Amino acid sequence: MFLIYTISMAKSNKLIYLDYSASVLPNPSSIHLLGVEAKRKLQNARKEISAILKCRPEEIIFTSGGTESNNLAIQGVVLAKAFPLPLGKRVAFSKPHIITTNIEHPSVLETFKMLQKRKLAEISIIPVEKNGIVDPKKIKKAIKKNTVLVSVMYANNEIGTIQPIREIAKEIRHYNKNNRPCLFHTDAVQAVNYLDLNVEKLGVDLLSLSGAKIEGAGRVGILYKKKTVSLSPIFGGGDQEMSLRPGTENLPEILKFSKALKLIEKNKEPASTRTSLGGKENKRLTKLRDYFFKKLQKMSKTGLDKNMSKPVFDTGVIINGDLQNRLPNNVNITFPKIPSDLLVIELSAKGIMASSKSACKSSGKEGSYVIQAINPELDKEIGGVRFSLGKKTTKADIDYTVKALSQVLQKLKKWYY
Amino acid sequence: MFLIYTISMAKSNKLIYLDYSASVLPNPSSIHLLGVEAKRKLQNARKEISAILKCRPEEIIFTSGGTESNNLAIQGVVLAKAFPLPLGKRVAFSKPHIITTNIEHPSVLETFKMLQKRKLAEISIIPVEKNGIVDPKKIKKAIKKNTVLVSVMYANNEIGTIQPIREIAKEIRHYNKNNRPCLFHTDAVQAVNYLDLNVEKLGVDLLSLSGAKIEGAGRVGILYKKKTVSLSPIFGGGDQEMSLRPGTENLPEILKFSKALKLIEKNKEPASTRTSLGGKENKRLTKLRDYFFKKLQKMSKTGLDKNMSKPVFDTGVIINGDLQNRLPNNVNITFPKIPSDLLVIELSAKGIMASSKSACKSSGKEGSYVIQAINPELDKEIGGVRFSLGKKTTKADIDYTVKALSQVLQKLKKWYY
């Protein structure tokens, strides 16, 4: 029927928009021609994104961002167990158990704690190893009869460590052979620019992405949800997004997202693996990162001050997180006695925009729980300084940054050492 | 400290952005200079919006849209009762009771039903009168000892009827004198362009807005939350937005929102009341709407076909909703035997973009529950056609539309009458 009317539309030269209340922009849920056109664009974006993730279009749910995607994945699984649709009655089922690590993004970790507080789930938080990487065997060991979900991030937002997603998936699959359906979610928000997003190869049932971390992508989130997974929506409302996320879809930003995702995917070719990153820009960043590490280690030893005979700092610089299994653009360091917040502000005064911890949590007073997790001996407020490189970053920027850092440290050491 | 560094920043010509992982755009939660600048802009937008709503800046919470704002208001109040912060323990409190009407937007009505299904709340849904307006006395009568929230929309999205918000607020205030704190929420998403948004005059504790209905506003939502109201967040995550809405704020869209809101507020002067709308454009639209009504009534009587001796339809046209207490841009009609979906598609083929029901619910198969609520005698699938006018709408558009409608009806009547 739509097709017939699309043809007859061509005959009408008039266009009178009398649907201002639906949305000032055409709305994919409207059934008039502009609505149908908007829906076609929306479905096309969904298809393009699914082609990159190697899944079906209807397995892509659009959300408002990474925080919502992570919440929908985790709360959605737990709520579906507690209140299965369509009857909405509580069923006889022991309290769902969910597993994550101690260095997840707040939108995962705090959601776990919230579900525990609300008595909707029993939680296990597995500590990562000293290098910021979780041991898949420890995940396996934590799985119980009532475990319904494991959520492990693909790459960490502070220290950039890449988690062994495929290995964890393998452990879960092995467990599931005994007919115990434990799902696997990964927060891929930080991984998106550099790592392989093939959900089949990764072996995940749920995967979160955010436009905020992709150049030109627009502020929307994506949740990949395998077709067989039961999820309850968090919001009540309309039946958009396979009835899992009500609210008019943010079409302009979604279109920007799919365009930007296609672009970064092209830059990754040939596809990257956990240890070897594909793509020219990935290789350039990896080189730059390793150069940054070398300069930092040298500075720590020599103080970069040729007049000094011994290192500036007794304790040296700590490079946080595994040196190899990490994002190509991530450098994260700690000077054991100097609060990282102070370093960031001092560097900012020299024109260098770095970060002292997850920006998503930075208005709080405590330091970084991620740095704390891998350096338990540090004072809580010390934290780490994260430098995250991007396409405009050059070798000269690194030189300038290390020099500036050295000057800042010279200034601060009299107070802190 | 920030001030000092802002001054020294001026001395540095360098700008090296090494915070790509926080966000490809500067992030208001970052503590470096660009983050501080982003935060300043964010707080400024918050201040400007609060000046329009006549509240404090910290009473404005940014969300992803109207659906989220409504959910945060309703779920937030109920969850705060069930799981009060910071202890998160269930307290001895009879199940919270919440009240709404039967013509609310799905993001309110479905949220009520969801909370009932999940056994978190007891709900009352008050039917509106034949004219699509709720009787404040019926709200008052429904308030019980355990009532924690009344949610009534400011203006309806389908039929444009304006609810007596101040009168309902008065009833609730009167009730609350006996030390029973019942909160009042209004979904003002459809009212934003035309009605007074002064929360103090309205007497509401919570008010939702959406950028999707404001020209040039960007896709964000607002929830006004009176400072004294306890709300629990729906999402787990960072501590943005007074710890009520985690996730990096969508700064570019928020800035567009505050700019657009200021603009429409200017257009409303002098301020509108429930019965008399202020502003030139409001008056123009009201005139246009009433002209549309007159033409429709005339068409219904004469068929607009001078060769016909009697009306085209035995039953005539039904104009849905009160003729006076309605948005200046809303016309909603029903032809008792013709499915509105069909009319919308036929009109669309003639270049007229109208809507057959709330676009937020239009992918479902059933008709409009709003039209059903005020016309219980109609078949369920009939629904209504909504024409919502805007700044580009002219008298000639109305003439063309009524003529086109007449032609469509001539064509369809042989099948339906």
Task: Tell me whether residues A21 and B393 touch, CB distance under 8 A.
Answer: no
Containing H/E element for B4? Answer: helix B2-11
**Do the chains contact at B107 and A247, CB–CB below 8 Å?**
yes
Among B205, B235, B267, give the residue marking a domain's end: B267
Does residue B234 sit in the same domain as residue B171? yes
Please indicate whether residue B350 or residue A276 has the higher confidence score (pLDDT): B350
Which residue among B20, B112, B355 sits closest to A19, beta carbon to beta carbon?
A: B355
Residue B96, pLDDT score: 95
Q: pLDDT tens, B314-324?
A: 447 899 999 99
Unique residue bearing structure tokens 């089922």: A93
Say yes or no for a CB contact (<8 Å) between A35 and B353.
Answer: yes
- DSSP label of B30: -
Work out the number of other CB atoms within 10 angstroms of the CB of residue A271.
Answer: 15
Q: What is the CATH number of the domain that holds B362?
A: 3.90.1150.10
If you average pLDDT over residues B361-375, what whole number do you get?
76
**Option in B66, B349, B400 nearest A9 (CB):** B349
Closest listed residue to residue B378, CA positions, set B130, B82, B8: B130
A274 within a domain of the structure (yes/no)? no
Asked if pLDDT for residue B273 goes beyond 70, the answer is no
Judge if A262 and A387 occupy the same domain.
no
Instruction: For residue B233, give the chain A residue with the closest CA.
Output: A114
Q: Is residue A108 part of a domain?
A: yes
B198 vs B84, higher pLDDT: B198
Instruction: For residues A85 and A233, state if they share a domain.
Output: yes
Q: What is the pLDDT of residues B166-210, one digit of tens each?
A: 999 999 998 887 676 899 999 999 999 999 999 999 999 999 999
Same domain, B150 and B78: yes
Domain boundary among B199, B233, B267: B267
Given this model, what pLDDT does residue B62 score? 98
Please give the Cα distance from A300 to A313 (Å, whole number).
7
Domain for residue A34, yes or no? no
Searching chain A, which residue's CA lies closest to the CA of residue B35? A353
User: Chain B contacts of A401, Cβ < 8 Å?
Assistant: 16, 18
CB contact under 8 A, B25 and A355: no
pLDDT of residue B93: 59
Residue B374 resides in a domain: yes
- Does residue B7 form part of some domain? no
d(C-alpha B232, C-alpha A117), whole Å: 12
Helix (H) or strand (E) holding A17: strand A16-17
Q: Are residues B284 and B260 in the same domain?
A: no
Residues B39 and B135 in one domain: yes
3 state SS for A82-124: HCCCCCCCCCCCCCCEEEEECCCCHHHHHHHHHHHHCCCCEEE
User: Residue B275's pLDDT is what?
Assistant: 53
CA nearest B182: which of B148, B157, B142? Answer: B148
Read off the pLDDT of residues B119-167 as tens digits, 9 standing for 90 and up: 999 999 999 999 999 999 999 999 999 999 999 999 999 999 999 999 9
pTM of the model: 0.90
What is the count of structural domains for chain B? 2
Q: Catalytic pick from A33, A271, A360, A404?
A: A360
Q: Is A107 in Cβ contact with B235 (below 8 Å)?
A: yes
The confidence band for B271, taking pLDDT boundaries of 50, 70 and 90, is low
CA distance B393 to B354: 13
Query: Are both B254 and B341 inside the same structural domain?
Result: no
Is residue A348 domain-shared with residue A395, that is, in the same domain? yes
The reply to whether A285 and A244 lie within a common domain is: no
Looking at residue B241, its amino acid is E
Q: What is the dihedral of CA B119, A236, B384, B387, to 10 degrees?
A: 150
Task: Please indicate, yes or no, if residue B3 is contained in any of the structural domains.
Answer: no
Among B267, B293, B321, the domain boundary falls at B267
Same domain, A372 and A238: no
Q: What is the ipTM of this complex?
A: 0.89
Query: What pLDDT score does A322 carry?
Result: 95
Same domain, yes or no: B328 and B256: no
Q: Which residues of chain B lie closer than 8 angstroms to A21, CB-CB?
A: 157, 160, 190, 213, 327, 329-330, 355, 386, 388
Q: In this model, does residue B359 exceed pLDDT 70?
A: no
CATH number at residue B120: 3.40.640.10
**A246/A117 same-domain check:** yes
Is residue B32 assigned to a domain? yes
Would residue A55 show up in a list of annotated catalytic residues for this protein? no
Q: From the CB of residue A14, how many other CB atoms can be counted at a distance below 10 Å?
A: 12
Least CB–CB distance from A31: residue in B27, B356, B387: B356
How many Å lie between the alpha carbon of B116 and the closest alpha carbon of chain A? 9
Beta carbons of B35 and A234 less than 8 Å apart: no
Contacts of B71 in chain A (CB under 8 A): 234-237
Largest CA distance in chain B: 85
Rounded-to-integer distance, Cα B166 and Cα B168, Å: 5
Nearest to A359 among B22, B74, B109 (CB): B22
Q: What integer pLDDT is reported at residue B84 of this predicted model?
A: 64
More confident residue, A175 or B244: B244
Give me the residue label for tokens 């479902």.
B364
In-domain check, residue A33: no
Angstrom distance (rounded) from CA A144 to CA A175: 10
| Nearest beta carbon to residue A21 from set B29, B83, B330 | B330
CA distance A341 to chain B (A): 8
One digit per residue, the tens of pLDDT, for chain A of length 417 reads: 333 344 344 456 778 888 888 776 778 888 888 889 999 999 999 999 999 999 999 999 999 999 999 999 999 999 998 876 554 444 445 899 999 999 999 999 999 999 999 999 999 999 999 999 999 999 999 999 999 999 999 999 999 999 999 999 999 998 887 676 899 999 999 999 999 999 999 999 999 999 999 988 988 999 999 999 999 999 999 999 999 999 999 999 999 999 999 999 988 876 655 555 678 889 999 999 999 999 998 887 654 444 434 344 444 789 999 999 999 999 999 988 889 999 999 999 999 999 986 544 544 556 789 999 999 988 888 899 999 999 899 999 999 999 999 999 888 888 876
Q: Which structural domain, as residue segments, surrounds residue B24?
A: 18-267
Which residues of chain A does B18 touch, with a Cβ-Cβ cutoff of 8 Å? 352-354, 387-390, 393, 397, 401
